[in-house]
Amino acid sequence: MTVAVFFGCTFIAFGPAVALFLFTIARDPLRVIFLIAGAFFWLVSLLLSSLVWFITVQISNKNSASQQRGLLIFGVVLSVLLQEAFRYGYYRLLKKANEGLLALSQEDTMPISMRQLAYVSGLGFGFMSGAFSVVNILSDSLGPGTVGIHGDPQHYFISSAFMTLAIILLHMFWGVVFFESCERQRWWALGAVVISHLVVSCLTFVNPHYQGSLIPTYIILSVMAAWAYLCAGGSLRNLKLCLTCKDKDFLLANHRPR
């Protein structure tokens, strides 16, 4: 559409992610490294799934629309499963690296905890996933035209931006829940993460009825946000205390040497 839409959609899609990066990750070089490594793992999973999809498309019948749609669904499901597999792979790699990091570091304590690693890797996955979802749409939004000449609904850019926002945050929450459930060997939680990822991805097949895909996605986002908050060590009491600004007394009262 124009530069205004380009910047608007970029801010919508990447605003929270950039804010999180700036305030929580940018200061610590170790976190940056793990973020980028996480992004790379997501990229490799995408590469593998796109390779499989590409091969199947080449050997399929290009003229049959239903077959192509079936292939697309297959591709999406495969991609989700591969992403989660790589998330698990990254978890195992980090577990192994943890011991090495402890040996290398000058201090006695770990420089970075598993929870923080979960958060950072989830955000890394999110960044990369968001980039691939939305960058080509953004580049087309720079031109003078908007979607619609063939009858598609007009709100394509903004819907894509909001969807990307949801996906990035979701990846972050999924990362936290995933690593926590792997730590505690709660396999049902793992399964729930995978299933919710599948549900969100398959919801996009409802497009162009954007309400049908965005609203359930945001509902899932809020559920996962609450779950991840609980996994990360939060509780309702802490939230209430924080919001009513009674924290000073609380901290003082709770302060004890570790």
Q: How far is the CB of 195 from other proteins (least distance, A)?
A: 26
- Cβ proximity to other proteins: between 160 and 194 the closer is 160
Site for other proteins, rule CB under 8 A: 1-2, 4-5, 7-12, 15-16, 18-20, 22-24, 33, 36-37, 39-40, 43, 47, 104, 109-110, 113-115, 128, 131-132, 135-137, 139-140, 143-150, 152, 154, 156-158, 161, 165, 183, 229, 232-235, 237-239, 241-242, 247, 250-251, 254, 258
196 and 219 Cβ atoms separated by less than 8 Å: no
Structure tokens at 206: 């409802």
SS3 126: helix
SS3 93: helix
Alpha-carbon gap, residue 255 to 128, rounded angstroms:
39
Alpha-carbon gap, residue 246 to 226, rounded angstroms:
22
- Cβ proximity to other proteins: between 34 and 174 the closer is 34
> What's the gap between Cα 212 and its chain centre?
20
- Cβ proximity to other proteins: between 7 and 187 the closer is 7
SS3 109: coil
Q: How far is the CB of 72 from other proteins (least distance, A)?
A: 12
- Cβ proximity to other proteins: between 97 and 202 the closer is 97
- Cβ proximity to other proteins: between 206 and 242 the closer is 242
Structure tokens at 67: 């077959």
Q: How far is the CB of 229 from other proteins (least distance, A)?
A: 8
- Cβ proximity to other proteins: between 59 and 104 the closer is 104
Q: Kindly compute the dihedral angle of the four CA atoms of residues 235, 240, 246, 250, in this order, to the nearest 10 degrees.
A: -20
**Cβ neighbours of residue 24 under 8 Å, at least 6 residues apart?**
31, 119
- Cβ proximity to other proteins: between 109 and 211 the closer is 109
Alpha-carbon gap, residue 121 to 18, rounded angstroms:
15
DSSP result, 3-42:
HHHHHHHHHHHHHHHHHHIIIIITT-HHHHHHHHHHHHHH
